[in-house]
Every structure is written in structure tokens, then in C-alpha cells.
Structure 1
Amino acid sequence: MTHLQDILDIHFEPAGGTKYWLEQQERLHIDARHTITSIEDLSLFGLMDVEALRSRPLLDFVPRRYHDQLQQMILSETGGTSGSPCRRIYSEEDFNNGFVKPWLTAVERHHFPRGGRWLFVGPSGPHIIDRSARTMARSLGSLEPFTLDCDVRWIKRQAKGSIGYTLYLDHVLSQAMNIIQTQEIDTLFTTPPLLLLMGEHMSSEQRQAIRGIHTGGMAMDENSWHHVTRLFPEAVVLPGYGNSLFGVCFPLSPDQPDVFESGDGKRLIIELVPWTGQGQDGFVPTARAKADERGRVFCHILDPTFLLINMLERETAVATPLPNGTTGLTDIRPIALPSIKQEGVY
């Protein structure tokens, strides 16, 4: 039985399934466990209702069979860039499949240094990236990262250039520099804007001591990439693309650091769909962007503890054929939507 069929059996099982998805099945008058036989068939459900994900109780999206195991689950929230936060849970296995296994595979491919002294500058609290950073460091034989407070939702409320925005960055930077100046840091994990800001305040000796850099939270454009590699000439720079709902993806090859894998083809399937440029007008869930064509990021998250179908993300990317026969994502860019005021620094 395929992974897709296994996941459908869990979420659409009448007694132990997921309240939200059982409602959608009833709305469509189908038996999803028999009607859905391929990824393409998921288009029957239409686009994921993100507002439902933001406003309905979390357990409406968790299979009933897991409701007595909640004490073992990991809670995650999105940053709320495009509206109110979305929430999900991960089992330990789902968390490892979404964050840890892709990380360890990328570490081997890119020869990322092990056993370093990490500094993580990013959000904690409800954001799973903090737990991910701690697990990533420990998986390489390191102490968990030195960290600092970083409220990404607060900075998004501040107009760029305002007093509030400037004071916030000064506060984050002063904490980061205190750690860098006292703890012999050689591995950094943060966002591209914060990485560049820290790099400009670090001494040449401190920058040359950095052996590994992992970036996340937002894409790194070409200019930022060149700036980072110039500031940190001794570092292996390993960018990630992901979010709090599906996990993280990495470049397939060190020779193409801006070309990301499109999921694992099993629990996470990322595709690019043609998009007219605004809202959902003209969106056809069965269409796919062609090679070298820009499309909007579109994914399915097929985890036992959480199912998201036809999820339209807030980025576009260019479809790029990969040597392994799949299609990668390059030139990832955020979409300018009315609901997105600014990305902030994460």
C-alpha cells in the first residue's frame, strides 16, 4: 500500500479519523479512501482553506486516534506573516522526517562542519524553528545553540526605518554580539537579513572563525549570497527553504546552492503551479509550471498526525529540472499580497 493510501486511511477513517477532513469528504459526497488513488486526485478537494486552519480548534485537524497521545506531540505555529498564525502538531517521527532527516542528508552532501559552537538568532516560543535548531546542533555532536529572544511577530508590526524597528534590531544585535564576543562561536543559524547585520558588526577575526552557516526563514537572493560568502570566507553556507507546517528542504548540490529540492516525494510534495499574479483567479490545481517557468509554490503535507491538501504557499519560484529526475525550486521570492505588510527579518 502506498504512503498516500496509508495517510488517507488514517485521516478518513470514520471513527478514528480527522474531524475537518471527514467534513470535507461529506461535503463532496465521496469516500476519499477509495476515490483518491493518486496525488492528482487530491485536486477534488480544491484549495486548502487557510482561514479554517487559522480559526478552527487545532484538534479538528488531528486524527482522533491520536487524541490520547497529545502529551507526546510537538506543537508548532507559523509566524503570521500573511495573517493570523496557523497551527499544527508533529509526532516525534513526523518532526524527524520533516526537519532532522533532511538536515542530516544535506550536512553530508554539503560537508557542513560537525561539533561546532552554535548561535541561533531566531524565534522561540510557539515557532518550531527553535526546537529544530537545538536538534540540528545536537545531531552534529554539538551543545545546543546559544540563543536569544527574537519576537518575529513584533518586528512585523514596526514600519521599516521607524524608531520601534531600529530599537528592536539594536536589541537583537546587542544580545547576539555579546554571545559572539564571549563564546567562540563558529556556527551560525539565522535569517539572511540578521546574518548580514551581524556580519557587519563582527570583526574580521570573528567572521573568519565561522565554519558553518545555516540560513532559514526567508530566501537568500543572489546579492545577499555573494555578500555572505564575502563576509564569511571560511564558512560552508547551507540555506534552507521551509516553514512551520511542512519542515525544511535543502539544495540538492553544493554547486547549485540556490536550487532546492521539492520535498521528499512521500510525506512532502512541493510543486509549482501557474499563477496569474493576484489572489486565486485563474488557479488550476492540476496544472504545473514548465521547466524554467515561474509558478506559485503548492504543496501537500501527508503526515499521520496532520494532513494538508492543496496548500498554496506565499512564495513563487522557478521550476528547475534536477539530475535525479525531479523538479527543483530556484529564485524563491515572496508574493506581494495585500495581507502581507512586510516579511520583517524572518
Structure 2
Amino acid sequence: MDYNNMTFGVEPFLVDDEGIINHLRETYEFHRERTPHWRTIKSDPSFDGSLREVLESIFNTLEVNPSLLREEWPSFLPHGYRGRIRFYQSSGTTGRRKFAHWDESYVHVLVNFLREALDRTYSLGKLYEEEPPRALIHGPYGWYQEEMSHLIWSYGGMLYFVGAETEGLKQLLEREPERAYRLLEPLINYTKRVIMVDDINTVRTSPQMLDLFLRIRDDMRAIFLSGTALGHETVKRVKNEFENAKVIPLYGNFLFGDAVGIAGEDGIVYYPNAPFTLIVPLIKEDDVYRIAKYGERGKTGVIVARPELFVVMVEDEEVTRRKPRPPFRWDGFENPSRGT
């Protein structure tokens, strides 16, 4: 199993329920035979029935304890896998870091999805035809830097990447904000230097850092926002402050990269890159998971199904289930909020 023969990596919006089920079955069977962790499990999920039934079977059979990605992450790499593998770590903003690996090919599959989704939803391709992006990106090193670099390059642009140490940052911002901002001082100073000299028109940052860019608000064409403090009211405020810019919410995770968000009146709905990533809210009843109904809220269930990595997790976070909307043919999830 590899990326060379996967249609969905080239045409991400062709996938339907049957295609998702087939992809999950093939990926699971591949890892069941080759991956140390999955070779030890005692029972297999059912891949018969509707997509909802298949997903419920997977979560009720294969849920991975997050501690395994902190202590035994190499056990999720298939034996003899031939690819360009790089191990990444979680940002650590909310807890002890976990590890997972990506094949280099997945970066290109992910960027292809993001490019198609952003062009269809926000018309970024048209926006950048006359003026390619000159971007400044804030964030952690690792997958985030790789993904955003390739995305900006795909539009013929160039970028500054201003990295920052993020471990424990969320708790620090809440408990000792002055200390947190002292740690971010190099990022702030570097950003100020760049926007004084270069003509930046594209930014990815957190809402707390946007004041740095107010002096060039008229030049901004696209603002990518992410972070635990992001909500639809924040998106609305930023649109008013940066009237010439498209404001694009993204939801990032070290296991799968970014999902594309669409802000509405009541929240932000995110769509991941199915079938490689599936995210659904789960409700546990009598010790059995069921997928939430549309509009219902539940724990965040995540399935990552790729040639190099298969993981089934239930995150300490809640989301609301939302229906597909063009161009996405699969469910979205709304307003993620982490446990305290």
C-alpha cells in the first residue's frame, strides 16, 4: 500500500461513503498485517453496513490510548515501510507531547486537499493570480512549517517562518500572561522587523498576535487563523479590522495537519481531508460509542488512515456534528472546545 495508486490524493473531492469505507478497510488490513501495535489486537471491526455503522465499530474496537503515542509511538510504524518518514511531535500547548510520523508524500496529498478546498471556498487561486503571497507564518516547528511552506509555494509565493516554543503555552497565557509574552518577545520583535521592511500580504497567526499587523491592515489579502481561542465572533471582528483580507480559520493537529474552516453566524465548521482523516463527535452510552446526531455535541473521535499511519483516538475535546456542504462531501465538526 502506498500513495501512488490513491485517486483521492489527486482528486480529493471525489470521495463518497463507499470510497471512505473501502479506504478504511484497505488501510486497516495493511496495518493489521505489518504494524506492531495492530498485530496484537484481539478483535477486528466490521466494515459492513453504512459509514456510520463502520465508524462506530472502529471506535468501539480499536480506540488507542493517547499514552501510547507518548511512550510507544514507534509501534505504529509498519514493519518494512518504504517511504520518506519523519516523526513529528504535538505542539504541547495543552499537555505532554505525543509523537507520530508522516510520509513525505502525505504532505503533498494534504497540500493538494488544502489548495483545492481554499480555492473552491475562498477563491484564493484567483486572489493570488496577480499578486502572489508574501507570507509571514507564526507557529511551531515540524509538520506545520512543512505544510504551510508547500501551501504558500503552490501559489507561487514566498514566506517567512517565525517559529516559537509552544510547550505549556496555553496554560502559561492563562496563568502568567506577562511571562508568556516575555517568552514570545523574540517572535514579536522579528515580526516587527519584517513588516517594517517587506511587503507582507498574507499571515498565519493566532488571534492574540493580530495587533502586530494592524499597521499594514490595508495591504493584507489573506489571514489564516488558528488556536484554542478562535471562535466565530473573533473571525467576525478580524474581518471588520482587516477589511481587504479574506479571513480563513484552520484547525491543526500534529496527527493529520490542518482542516479547513468556514465561519458562520453560530460557529466555525471544519472539514478534514477525508478519507485520510475522519473526525466525528462521539457519545458514550452504556460503555459503547455512538456517533452524535447532526447538531449534537460529543467527544472528538479521530481516525487517521494512511499507508504509514493508522490511529483511532478519542480526544479530550468536544465538537458538534455538522452536515456536508459543497465542496465537501463528508461531515464537518463545529466549535471545538478542549477539556479543562
Residue equivalent to 1:322:
324
- Call closer, same or farther: CA 1:44–1:231 in 2, change over 3 Å: closer
Q: Confirm or deny that 1:54 pairs with 2:58.
A: no
Residue 198 (str. 1) matches residue 212 (str. 2): yes
Pair 1:256–1:248, CA change in 2 (3 A): farther
Match of 2:25 in 1: 5
The one-letter amino acid paired with 2:30 is: I
- Cα distance change, pair 232–269 in 1 and its aligned pair in 2 (3 A): same
Which residue does the alignment assign to 2:167? Answer: 153
Cα distance in 2 for partners of 1:274, 1:158 equals 31
Letter in 2 for 1:271: V
**1-structure distance, mates of 2:57, 2:144:** 32
What is the CA–CA distance in structure 2 between the aligned matches of 1:222 and 1:93, rounded to whole Å? Answer: 33
Once the two structures are superposed, what CA deviation does each residue of 1:108-137 show, in whole Å capped at 9, x if it has no partner? 12112321100011111xx31011111111
Q: Does 1:273 align with 2:282?
A: yes
Match of 2:257 in 1: 247
Matched, 1:106 2:125: no
Higher strand share: 2
- Call closer, same or farther: CA 1:241–1:289 in 2, change over 3 Å: same
Mapped partners of 1:209, 1:297: distance in 2:
37
1:295 matched residue in structure 2: 298
Q: Quick one: which of 147, 157, 160 aligns to 1:132? A: 147
Give the Cα separation in 1 of the matches to 2:335 and 2:171.
27
Residues 5 and 294 of structure 1: is their aligned pair in 2 closer, same or farther, counting only changes over 3 Å? closer
Select the residue among 64, 77, 93 that pairs with 2:89. 77
Q: Give unpaired runs (5+ residues) of structure 2.
A: 1-18, 49-53
Q: What amino acid does structure 1 have at the position aligned with 2:57? A: D
Partner residue of 2:201 out of 186, 190, 194:
186
Deviation track 1:164-201 (CA, whole Å, cap 9, x = no partner) reads: 22312333212111111111100001122223x324xx
Match for residue 224 of structure 2 among 214, 222, 244: 214
Q: Structure 1: which amino acid aligns with 2:302?
A: C
SS of 1:304's equivalent?
coil
Deviation per CA, 1:205-258, whole angstroms, max 9, x where unpaired?
x11100011123436213311221122110011111130102221136899982
| 226, 229, 233: which one aligns with 1:223 | 233
Give the whole-Å Cα distance in 2 for the aligned partners of 1:21 and 1:289: 27
Q: Is residue 90 from structure 1 mapped to residue 102 from structure 2 by the alignment?
A: yes
Shift of the 190–182 alpha-carbon distance from structure 1 to 2, 3 Å rule, reads: same
1:63 to partner: Cα distance: 0.3
Instruction: Say how many residue pairs are matched.
Output: 306
Which consecutive aligned stretches of 4+ in structure 1 deviate over 4 angstroms post-superposition?
34-37, 252-257
Mapped to 2, the partners of 1:178 and 1:283 lie a distance apart of 55
1:344 match: none
Corresponding position: 1:118 with 2:121 = no
The whole-number CA distance in structure 2 between the counterparts of 1:171 and 1:289 is: 44
Q: Which amino acid letter does the alignment assign opposite residue 118 of structure 2?
A: V
Contact 1:106-1:252 at 8 Å conserved across structures:
no
- Cα distance in structure 2, aligned partners of 1:105 and 1:120: 20
CA distance in 2, matches of 1:188, 1:11: 38
Task: Give 1:225's aligned amino acid.
Answer: V
Q: Helix, strand or coil for the counterpart of 1:292?
A: coil
Task: Flag the 1:320–1:169 CA change in 2: closer, same or farther, 3 A.
Answer: same
* Cα deviation, residue 104, structure 1: 0.5
- 1:17-32 alignment runs, 5 A limit: 17-23=34-40, 25=41, 28=42, 30=43, 32=44
CA contact (8 A) 1:155 1:168 kept: no
Q: How big is the shift at 1:4?
A: 1.8
Are the aligned partners of 1:54 and 1:86 in contact in 2 as well (CA < 8 Å)?
yes
Residue 307, structure 1, aligned to residue 283, structure 2: no
Structure 2 CA distance for aligned equivalents of residues 153 and 308 of structure 1:
23
1:240 to 1:210, Cα distance in 2 relative to 1, 3 A? same
**Cα contact 1:268–1:299 (8 A) shared by 2:** yes
Counterpart contact for 1:239–1:257, Cα < 8 Å:
no
**What's the secondary structure of 1:240's corresponding residue?**
strand
